[in-house]
Amino acid sequence: MDKDTGDERYHAETAAPESASLLRDYSFLLTGGKALDVAMGSGHNAVFLASHGYDVEGVDISPVAVSRAGELAAKSGVPINAVEADLSNYSVPEQSFDLIINFYYLDRELIPQLKKGLRKNGLIFFETYTIEQRQFGKPSNPDYLLRPNELLRAFLDFFIIFYHERIIVESTAPKAIASLIAQKVRHN
């Protein structure tokens, strides 16, 4: 997503969406520490993590999203460090995070940085669209859609806690997604 598209999306958003169900469902794994929220959007996941004891850095290309995330954090009474940055130029510091989350953003070149950015025993929560999403509309560009088991294969050097590819049929919009929770078990 480019800056202008992100700004339009966040200007149109009237209320902050709920945090990701994958985070809520597996919140028992959240033990605190330092977290990175990749493409954080309006900050709902970052605020959720901050409320679970994390020192959160959230990165997004959209200044509107970064502003909204800061407002949501202040309203929720938790601190987050909201950073406006283009992730294609962003450098994830190595072995700096206990948790990295990446929801509905796919940049295959960023994945090795995310892996290196985790400390030993750190967790990654990653969820985004699969190629089957094309049947439901956007996104439809294959550059932003995972191939079957692609996300799983990208993290085979981690301990896989949870992995699932599925089509979710909701009343508003069906979606095809892959979800992963994995733990870094060695320094690399």
**Over the stretch 11-51, which tens digit does the pLDDT of each residue have?**
444 454 689 999 999 999 999 999 999 999 999 999 999 99
Residue 7 pLDDT class (50, 70, 90 cuts): very low
Domain coordinates in residue numbering, the chain: 3-183
Strands (E), the chain: 33-38, 54-60, 81-84, 97-103, 118-129, 159-168, 175-183
C-alpha–C-alpha distance, residues 179 and 18, integer Å: 17
Provide the percentage of residues in the chain whose pLDDT is more than 90. Answer: 82
- Judged against a pLDDT cut of 90, whether residue 91 lies above it is answered with yes
pLDDT tens by residue, 113-150: 999 999 999 999 999 999 999 998 899 999 999 999 99
The amino acid at 105: Y
Q: Do residues 60 and 6 make contact, with C-beta atoms less than 8 angstroms apart?
A: yes
Total count of residues recorded for the chain: 188
The CATH number of the structural domain formed by 3-183 is 3.40.50.150
Q: Do residues 122 and 100 make contact, with C-beta atoms less than 8 angstroms apart?
A: yes
pLDDT tens by residue, 76-86: 999 999 999 99
The amino acid at 157: D
C-alpha–C-alpha distance, residues 55 and 156, integer Å: 27
Spacing of C-alpha 118 from chain mean position: 14
Please give the model's pTM, rounded to 2 decimal places: 0.90
pLDDT (0 to 100) of residue 17: 67
Distances (CA, A) of 102 to 40, 135, 171, 175, 178: 8, 23, 25, 17, 12
C-alpha–C-alpha distance, residues 67 and 116, integer Å: 28
What residues contact residue 120 under an 8 Å CB cut-off, 6+ apart? 95, 184, 185, 186, 187
CB count within 10 Å of CB 120 equals 12
